[in-house]
Structures are given as structure tokens and as C-alpha cells.
Structure 1
């Protein structure tokens, strides 16, 4: 199952909601969304700095991740970034594939 790193920053309105329902309430909401699409939340952490929350999730396909991303962004409560995560085996397989590429100006 594809794995993603989600980094999110709350907007003013999103922070107000977090203060109202707490971190455990947000974890429950994330779990409901992810499991509802056949995925799994591996871990979820709140953080200081540029991002307020960091989540690692598994989804059955990239379309599920895209659906969640679009819906969350449309809410206006969070700014998010989803990064696909690859296993060591996947990178080894990618390294073995031949790619016809010419660098600019070469």
C-alpha cells in the first residue's frame, strides 16, 4: 500500500478548532477519514515550527490520497503537503531501470 508523509499547518480557523476539540479529537477525525478510504494511520505527531502536525499514512492508491488532500485543502482549515514515501526496495528497483535521458545542453 502506498505510504505518504503529510505535513500540515493550521490556519487561524483550524487552530481555533484544534483548541476547541483537542488533539485526540483531531486524531479521531484523521483516523475516520483514512480508514474510511481503506487506509491506515501509522503515526501522527503535533510539532512546533513550520508544520503543526505530521502524519504518516498508508492508502490503497494515490487517488485516495488526492481525494483527501483536495477535501482538506478545500476546508480552508489547513495548508497541507503530501509526500510519497518509497521503501528501500522500491528505490533499488528504480535504480535498476534504464532511463533514456539527455541533460540540457549535453
Structure 2
């Protein structure tokens, strides 16, 4: 799962890292994307959009309430949200249950 900032916190991010468009940051919670280099506590920088291609890492809203950061795929009339960690299974949904909220544009990590 991921959590949106619920306050007015802001991150200073170089424009060159993001590119054009409207962006927001989400704090990553969990280890489902570790093999993609996305770790618990990282800040995922998301470009707002409502469409994506297969293989993109997206923020997907499932059933209007559960947001997740996963690889997007389409297969046999279903939307697949695929983790980057062999310990987790691919989630499969009817397209009507999933809304793309944005695509991963960058990542910030504190050490």
C-alpha cells in the first residue's frame, strides 16, 4: 500500500527529474516493489495521468479505495497489477475495478 500526504508537506524536486506535467509524491509502505528498486519509506514521484501502457509502474486505485504501486499489464480481458517481489502474487481484476491514478516519474530516498 501507499499513503498520500494528508497535509501540505512539499518536497523540493529538480524539474529535470520529473519532466512535464502535474506531479505528486507518495510515501511507499511495504516491500512489494523491492526488485524494481522501490523500498519501504521511499517517496514515489508520480505524474498524474489516467492511462498507461503495459509494463509501466503505476498508481492504481482498486475498487475506489485501495491504492497500490505496481507494474500494469493487460491479459485475457483482465487488468493485472504485478509486484516486483517474488513473495507476492500478481493481482487480477476486471477493468471496471481499476483506475490508473498516475505513472512513476521518479523516486526519492532518505538515508
Specify the TM-score bucket, using the shorter chain as the normaliser. under 0.3
Query: TM-score, with normalisation over the residues of structure 1?
Result: 0.24
Greater helix fraction, Structure 1 or Structure 2? 1
Query: TM-score, with normalisation over the residues of structure 2?
Result: 0.23
Structure with the bigger RCO (C-alpha within 8 Å, sep 6+) is 1
Greater strand fraction, Structure 1 or Structure 2? 2
